[in-house]
Amino acid sequence: MLEGRKILLIITGGIAAFKAIDVMRLIRKAGGEVQPLMTRAAQNFVTPMTASTVSGKATLTELFDLSREAEINHIELVRDADLIVVAPATGNFMAKMALGLADDLASTAILARDKDVIVVPAMNVRMWESAATQRNYKQLLADGMQFLGPVEGSMACGEFGPGRLAEPPEIFDAICAYFEKGQSLKGKHFIVTSGGTREPIDPVRYISNASSGKQGTAIAQSLLNRGAKVSFIYGASDVPPPAGVDAIAIGSAQDMYDAVHRALPADGAIFCAAVADWRPKQAGAEKIKKKHDGTTPSIEMVLNPDILKSVAELDQTKRPALVVGFAAETENLVEHARAKRQRKGCDWLLANDVSPETGTFGGDQNKITFFASDQPEDWPKMSKSGVAEKLADAISKHFGDA
């Protein structure tokens, strides 16, 4: 099940650290490799010798160990792993991850990571429910980390509530599920649009919007993680395209329309870009000069091509099997989104509230109402990477059931 997979298991200092030994045993039984890394506090509960014996690899403990740094430095450590798991993750270590501290080998490995992280918290219920830990939890979600638990139950201290470490079989199942996703969309081709378009007024001015491109980029990454080929057509963005996509940079809505139709055929198309509805009918060949008499220029506007509708209305020989649209709304979200889905002819539509008080437009989180039918499904507010994972899971299920 995990043949050829390499997991870096970071064990931090909580009473539940002993359960990490069973997690390592399960990983090895399934054919995976596990490299244990223990904080100094963790060694009060489990010895490095025990972890080394079970894992079959020398347990790493010190950042400034010259012999180990010469053999495997902290950068190569995370580059060599396919997945990082922190189990148990104490409140202290969650705080260090959220703040980007790097004062030992474990926290330095997290800061240097280029792999996904599954965080499995374990702590006293009061510590978990504290404002500081909840703030750190939200920050780590926004940073793209995945969480398992904590689960509710009796604590070693005698209290009851959320804070217990998930059991080793649950942690093992989460690891297996992570790698299973890597094949769920293998052989499928998706088009993803992202970012904002820029409609020129003259050579130095344009009409655009505050789209950051973060949501579309996260969706493309989630599809890549499941083995899909992704044509990523993007406009103005605050973030770079994910490594591994076929990245196509565009400027205007017409540019995006042309790039999308050139990228067909595709199995699916996700239209996440914030496309300008209108453009100036005629862009000035020279910079429009300010008039000293106080008058302002008059700009005649025309409609841009409707990219989502143009693809959704293609005949069945050319239309992607799944067409997904986005609707950014500031009022009457359900009513407007339901009407847009019907008007555009897309299969699914994700509506997000971008009213100023939500802080979602250009931010790191999103609040989605999902339409796969006329009955909406409200998703909790989550990081944009969380939205991407949830959407990619739904897409994988859709093609798996098809």
Query: What residues act catalytically?
Result: 157
Q: Is 287 annotated as a binding residue?
A: yes
Whole-angstrom distance, CA of residue 224 vs CA of residue 230: 7
Separation CA 44–CA 238 (nearest Å): 44
Instruction: Please say whether the beta carbons of 21 and 54 come within 8 A.
Output: yes
Rounded to an integer, what distance in angstroms lies between the CA atom of residue 45 and that of residue 29?
24
Residue 64 structure tokens: 């400034």
Q: Does 305 belong to an annotated binding site?
A: yes
Cβ atoms of 392 and 398 closer than 8 Å? no
For residue 89, with 0-12 CB atoms within 10 Å meaning exposed, 13-18 middle and 19 or more buried, which class applies? buried
* Contact predicate 90/122, CB 8 Å: yes
Is position 364 annotated in a ligand binding site? no
Instruction: Identify whether the C-beta of residue 4 lies closer than 8 Å to the C-beta of residue 31.
Output: yes
Task: Give the span between the Cα atoms of 185 and 229, in whole angstroms.
Answer: 9
Q: Which residues contact 132 (CB under 8 A, 6 or more apart)?
A: 91, 95
The verdict on whether residue 233 carries a ligand-binding annotation is no
**Helices 19-29 & 48-55, crossing angle to 10 degrees?**
20
Helix, strand or coil for residue 299? coil
Question: Do the annotations mark residue 318 as ligand-binding?
Answer: no
Q: How far apart are CA 308 and CA 328, in angstroms?
A: 14
Is residue 340 marked as binding? yes
User: In sequence order, which ranges of 17-147 are alpha helices (DSSP H)?
Assistant: 19-29, 48-55, 66-71, 74-79, 91-99, 105-111, 125-129, 131-142
Is 2 annotated to bind a ligand? Reply is no
Annotated binding-site positions for CTP: 277, 287, 305-308, 326, 340, 344
